Amino acid sequence: MLKFGLIVAGLAFLMGLVSSTIPLVEETLMKSSEATLEKDVEIAVPDTQVVLESQPLVRVGIMERYDRIDFRIQGNFSITDLNGTTIFSNIKSDRRWRCKVETSSPARFIFSILMGTFNIERNAERLAEKLRKEGYPARILPFGRNIIIGGMMVHKANRWRVIVGAYDDEQQALPFLEKLSAGNESQPRILKHRIEEPQGTIELYDSEYDRSAMLENGFRIVPESSETEVTLYDVRVGIGYHWEHIEDRIYRHVIELRIDSNSELLALNELLIDDYLKGVVPSEMHPSYPIEALKAQAVAARSYTIFKLADTPTNDPIDFPATVAFQVYSGITNEDPKTNKAVAETAGEVLKTGKKVCETFFSSNSGGHTESKEFWSAPGESYLVGKPVMPAKEAKNFNLDLTLETDAGKWIRSHPDNYSNPRGTDIEILDKNVRYFRWEVTYSRQELESIIKRKLGFDIGTLIELQPLRRGKSGRIVELEILGSHRNHKVFGELNIRRALSASTLNSSCFIVESVMDGQGNPVEITLIGAGFGHGVGMDQTAAGVMATKGLDYKKILHLFYDKASIEKIW
């Protein structure tokens, strides 16, 4: 299914194409039930997507899994169905509107296990051959689309995934995932392939029921003016994190509401990338940060968006979500003149290496040392290497190996004066981030046992010890063993570790463990002493703010965090 965007009045005509060098691929996936072949599955790789001459449109998921969605529109607008047929034309209504699902059926998926992603096909073939020799039905799935804007290739995206199995549901895949994950540094994960679209009927009506319609699968709110604004009520924000809450948010440009994969409602916002960034930058970095830090954030966010746009399968209605899982996007609710200026003054600028736009990860605070992308999966990228966040002269004298327990302990217990430590910048919101530079959290043993049981889904018995088995270059734990009286369990991946040891999500996996013991040698109280907030890969947003206060411009900030990448203007 191709995604062809309807363009808001006043925007440029469609001029370019994003085209793939990869044709339609029919990929046979085999179900791993002790190496028996049970079904064939056809997976389509997208070949085209419409973009504008100046910059691409993006489709951002802002609400998902709602039984109803209420909204209000300020300004003139039209309502169309998903094919562009007009339902209500050029109307103005300040009433509250509601849509709800009348009938629906969910999407259907096949689940496989992603073993690795490669830029070179031969490397993918080697892994697939190795897995086949071990008895696993491994296959190679090409994916990614080249991005062409104004006739210029700006991103060559084709890559190769190695996948195993084809399962009817996620539960079937979990035992194989656990087996394949054991001792595997590449951190396999479950991958979903949509093979059947959701269907349904949505009822739409205003508060007085003067206008109403029954619509198949969804509809679009198309503004008739660039000033038209749509307020969506009760948007869930920060799901799964300690700041989770509900708030009303305001958006411009096209809003599309449709049946989602779970037979419920999905809302998305379709708009140009730089308009999207106006809602991203202030959500990711507070507008009170220095302008050079905000400009660095704008370039990093734009690059990340382009990179991920090339990875988006076109049978998914959204390109990416508006959450912390991708980039936080809050519409125009948090727009600020200062962050809008940062977007405008860096318009079209991205970080590139060769023919590829960089995958410019960023996080709140590295704790003073960034992490390599190999932290997630090997091989990493040359521009995402773990390094101390300090001036080059001081970095040369840094002599700790944070992959070692002794050195990691020394580092986490210290409070070095480096760019990640924001104390004394005289910018209130930046200075507050010192609480993320170094932190502590203390649990009673029973409290932590309860959290672990809820997060892992089984009872480990009495908690005996938390034992780090492997750390990344920043000291972040990437493999942790939880020792219990009933069973031991290994947790792989920094995010999984952070979730397993917190009611919401731990600040980072860069921590050491201190325990108070009882007379029998059992822990009574467990304290995690940690450094940083987030995964630590790429740009440290706190450090970017501190660097800007010291007079460094956005290009120097970016070059510290994205080694050997160049800044190029692609529109």
Domains parsed from the chain with CATH numbers: 22-45+108-145+156-196 (3.30.70.1070), 55-106+198-353 (no CATH), 376-382+399-533 (no CATH)
What is the greatest pairwise CA distance in the chain? 77
Query: Tokens 């034309």 sit at which residue?
Result: 89
Which letter does DSSP use for residue 388 in this model? B
Q: Would you state the pLDDT for residue 73? A: 97
Q: What global pTM score does this model have?
A: 0.85
Pick from 356, 117, 109, 98: nearest CA to 232? 98
Pick from 435, 231, 401: nearest CA to 333? 231
Q: Would you state the pLDDT for residue 48? A: 37
Q: Which residues contact 444 (CB under 8 A, 6 or more apart)?
A: 524, 525, 526
Q: Would you state the pLDDT for residue 314? A: 63
Question: How many Cβ atoms from other residues are within 10 Å of residue 315's Cβ?
Answer: 17
Peptide bond between residue 337 and the one before it cis (omega within 30 degrees of 0): no
Give me the residues of the chain with pLDDT under 70, please: 1-53, 183-186, 314, 377-380
To the nearest 10°, the Cα dihedral for 415, 420, 424, 428? Answer: -130
Q: Would you state the pLDDT for residue 2? A: 31
Q: Would you state the pLDDT for residue 40? A: 34
Query: Tokens 């460094």 sit at which residue?
Result: 552
- Cα 460 to Cα 150: distance, rounded to the nearest angstrom: 58
